[in-house]
A and B are shown apart, each in its own frame.
Chain A
Amino acid sequence: MSSPGEYGCGGTRPSVTPFIGITGYQWLLILAAVQAALLMPDAFVGHYRSGFTLRAQYVPFVTGTLLVLSAIAAAVVPHTPVVTRIAVIAGSLALASGVVGAGYHHWYGIATKPGGYHWLLHHLMHHAPPLAPLALSTAGALEILAVLGISGTAEIWGTSIRVLALTVVGIALVGAAMQAGLLHYRGAYNNAAMYFPVVVLPLAAAGVFWNAGASHNATVHVIASSLLWIAFAGGFFGAGMHLRGMDRQMGGLYMGVAAILDAPPAGAPLLIAALSASGLIAMELL
């Protein structure tokens, strides 16, 4: 991975730099697959808790699995037209199902609940997480951008793939901060570490947007990448704290499914780590 100084003012950025023999677009595909793989267990726990009352609750597992398989295939054989076409379709399906899922979460989690919008905060905290499905959309968008990049597309609507990928990551980090803020509020911020995502993620998102707008500024690059590295490590720290939270339930993890159902989502902080890694890949390798 190149050091930030190499891209100093006026420097030219290589189009696709490989890292451990894997190009940036391939890394983006791998990370999109990781994100989808991480969000599916959490979605399953949430939907299982609500009893799979709607058939639509199975959709994220179908589109998510398609995304994982197609993204890995596209990363392994990146220049095969059939594979890239399937990857674009799978990415589009994931993108669409995430948006539709957010609508479902809003409708069934808030609008049709007793009290409706008058009990907004209560419903936001205790029912379907409003922004969670958009994580699937993020993975889908990153997959599409990576496949377009592999296919040789440099720009979409006059904007480079790199800037678009950074924008997607930045928006997703803001959404993750909002969702974490809401759920940690439900948890009454009972531990100081619960402030971590609501403080670091918006800063990291700001750094990402700043870098997207000023890609040749070495200082901006160092600040943004440092924040993303902190968010990356913080994601793993959060995973440990969520595991600890699971173990704080009555009987702890020894109770198995019962502890997992009532505990903080295990994969959510790792999803933030994967998002941060996507941002770093977009900044350093694209």
Chain B
Amino acid sequence: MTRRTSKSARALLRGPIVLSAPLHPIFVHFTIALTAASFALDLVGRVLGQSANGPSTGPAALWALGAAVIVTVGTLVTGVLSRMRAPVGNGPAHSYLRVHMALGPLFFGLLLVAFTWRCGLYNSVSVVPWSYLVLVAAVCAIMTVQGYLGGELVYRFGTAVEGRYRALPIEHPGPRPCRPLVSMVAVEPDRA
């Protein structure tokens, strides 16, 4: 009875739709695209001498940054949930993961600072100041480091992927020996 209750509670928590894919890598792309687009739009606006609330780039940059703030909440939450499901032992993968986790909230905090600043510029008729662009460039730099660390975790260490994907149908010319599975702990190619 207790077992059945806990099973149904778990099913209730999981929701009506069960997604087999991890959600964190899905959210991440929106965060990256929207933040980078906002920076690029403001930079173009600055170079072209358009005002912060100018005819085209200004509002687009502001809305892109606002959307990035909203989406990044999902990115952070799904990131923590992904970590809670990923059994990563001590080793290089865990070191990468710890830095990735430490930088995530810092990125979000700076994104909030940038968004608040950008909202303050909304009614400004002057161009976006360089100091603001430097801040958003720093945010983008942290985002790049995050992307690199996340990429390493998935593509190099196979975190949340190894053993969970369906193999692509590849035609082999003949029988070939099975490649041993690389553990997430024994990660470095030279050791493997």
Contacts and interface: CB of A to CB of B under 8 A. Distances in A.
B22 interface: no
Contacts of B102: 237, 240-241, 243-244
B151 interface: no
B59 to A, nearest CB: 14
Interface stretch (B1-9, B44-52, B108-116): B108-116
A263 B116 CA distance: 31
Given A1-B120, A240-B102, A254-B88, A247 B83 contact: yes
Interface in B94-114: 94, 97-99, 101-106, 108-110, 112-113
Contacts of B108: 236
A236 B83 contact: no
Contacts of A233: 106, 109-110, 113
Given A235-B109, A244-B101, 15 more contacts: A1-B119, A3-B120, A232-B109, A236-B105, A237-B105, A239-B105, A240-B101, A240-B103, A241-B102, A244-B99, A244-B102, A253-B83, A254-B84, A254-B87, A270-B105
Contact of B84 (A2, A3, A241, A256): A256
A236 B101 contact: no
Contacts of A243: 80, 101-102, 104-105
Main secondary structure of the interface of B (DSSP, over half): helix
B85 interface: yes
A20 interface: yes
B106 A252 contact: no
Contacts of B83: 247, 252-254
A3 B104 CA distance: 29
B73 interface: no
Q: For chain A, give the interface size range.
A: 20 to 34
B188 to A, nearest CB: 20
A19 B97 contact: no
Interface of A: 1-3, 19-20, 229, 232-233, 235-237, 239-241, 243-244, 247-248, 252-254, 256, 270, 273
B11 interface: no
Contacts, number: 67
Nearest to B109: A236
Main secondary structure of the interface of A (DSSP, over half): helix
Contacts of A235: 109
A19 B116 CA distance: 9
Contacts of B112: 232, 236
B86 interface: yes
Contacts of A232: 109, 112-113
27 contacts: A1-B116, A1-B119, A2-B120, A3-B120, A19-B119, A20-B119, A232-B112, A233-B106, A236-B108, A236-B110, A237-B102, A237-B105, A237-B106, A237-B109, A239-B105, A240-B101, A240-B102, A243-B101, A243-B104, A247-B83, A247-B94, A252-B83, A252-B88, A253-B84, A254-B86, A254-B87, A273-B109
B41 to A, nearest CB: 19
A143 to B, nearest CB: 22
Nearest to B124: A3
A237 B116 CA distance: 18
A76 to B, nearest CB: 19
A1 B102 CA distance: 30
A85 to B, nearest CB: 32
A252 B96 CA distance: 13
Nearest to B83: A253
Given A240-B105, A252-B83, A254-B86, A247 B98 contact: yes
B119 A247 contact: no
Interface in B106-163: 106, 108-110, 112-113, 116, 119-120
Most buried by A among B80, B102, B110, B120: B102
Nearest to A236: B109
A286 B57 CA distance: 31
Nearest to A248: B98
